[in-house]
Amino acid sequence: MALEILGERPCFGGVQGSYRVASQECATPMRFSVFRPPQAQTRRVPVVYFLAGLECTEETFMIKAGAQRVAAELGLMLVSPDTSPREARIPGDDESWDFGIGAGFYVDATQAPWSANYRMYSFVTKELPRVIGANFQADVERQAIMGHSMGGHGALVCALRNPGEYRSVSAFAPIVAPSQVPWGEKAFSKFFGADRAAWASFDATALAKGSGFAGEILIDQGLGDKFLRTQLQPEKFVAACDGTRIAPRLREHEGYDHSYWFIQTFISDHLRCHAARLATER
Ligand SMILES: N[C@@H](CCC(=O)N[C@@H](CSC=O)C(=O)NCC(=O)O)C(=O)O
């Protein structure tokens, strides 16, 4: 799988890079960015995936979250994929900011025409880890995943569906019940059609009861977030985890909104949680 290097720059003793790969899953080129900490010069290091939200690209998190300083200290590789296919154009893919380009929702679509390229779930959980393992000094046995908003939904779903693959998961202001909120209803009805069973298989709140994932999930949520009541509703996920081995730790922050200023404020806590869990032996 040939990797195209779009750019690499020194950053906190490591390297910040942008890459493109010919994705088999998405049947189109896909971009992603990687921060390699200085420790990766001499050994394989644990990997933390960050899935970004609506309208973001593979660069948004790397530019705006201020994560590299702490990742360099902790010896964590950071990987952030683009939020959708972009080069395979499908009619209607750029008609709105909350569906299509920049809004792939980290699912494997089953409905034409989206099913040909919108396979972000398989890209993130299968293909991208193979690309990372083959091209970077990554310890692929030690993976964590986190995300924001649409990407928080993606991170929760990836971890709940693959408890053996991710040792740690966390989220900022995640969409936790896409089947029940306008962003998710719009996207899922196009990606999956009327089949609500398919919706449930990509809905963290619906997945919680049957998931084999065990452990704490840190969720930070700003109480000044304009999307909190309409699109996010983290209490739904917390309630769904009752009686399971999933222990959501929902932290609510007065005044914080949905922006990357909020993410910047708490990113260090998330990375430190992931580093601690990734350091333990199984
Ligand atoms: N255009 C929208 C706002 C879009 C937005 O807020 N996107 C968020 C993610 S929302 C859920 O996935 C984001 O991360 N934006 C990037 C940023 O730099 O803030 C509107 O009209 O409200």
Atom of ligand 1 nearest to the CA of 97: 1
Residues in the chain, total: 282
Mean pLDDT, the chain, rounded, equals 97
**46 — phi, psi (to 5°)?**
-65, 155
Question: What would the pLDDT profile of 147-185 be if each residue is shown by its tens digit?
Answer: 999 999 999 999 999 998 999 999 999 999 999 999 999
Q: What is the pLDDT of residues 68-124, one digit of tens each?
A: 999 999 999 999 999 999 999 999 999 999 999 999 999 999 999 999 999 999 999
Catalytic residue positions, numbered: 149, 225, 258
Q: Render pLDDT for 233-261 as a digit per residue (tens, 0 to 9).
A: 999 999 999 999 999 999 999 999 999 99
Question: What percent of the chain stands above pLDDT 70?
Answer: 100
Fold of 3-279: Rossmann fold (3.40.50)
Please report, rounded to a whole number, the percentage of residues in the chain having pLDDT higher than 90.
96
Tell whether the model's pLDDT for residue 222 goes beyond 90. Answer: yes
**From residue 5, how far is each of 52, 153, 175 by CA, in Å?**
21, 29, 32
- Cα separation, 105 vs 51, in Å, equals 10
Atom 21, ligand 1: residue with shortest CA distance: 97
Please tell me if the CB atom of residue 84 comes closer than 6 angstroms to any atom of ligand 1. Answer: no
Task: Using the predicted structure, report yes or no on whether residue 282 has a pLDDT greater than 80.
Answer: no
Residue 53, ligand 1, Cβ within 6 A = yes
Q: Is the distance from the beta carbon of residue 124 to the nearest atom of ligand 1 less than 6 Å?
A: no
* pLDDT on residue 1: 62
176 close to ligand 1 (CB < 6 Angstrom) = no
- For ligand 1, atom 13, which residue shows the shortest CA distance? 53
pTM above 0.95, yes or no: yes
Q: Where are the domains of the chain?
A: 3-279
Question: Structure tokens of 102?
Answer: 């920049």
- In whole angstroms, give the CA distance from residue 169 to residue 44: 20
Q: Where are the alpha helices (DSSP H) in the chain?
A: 60-64, 68-74, 120-122, 128-135, 150-161, 182-192, 196-200, 204-207, 235-240, 260-279
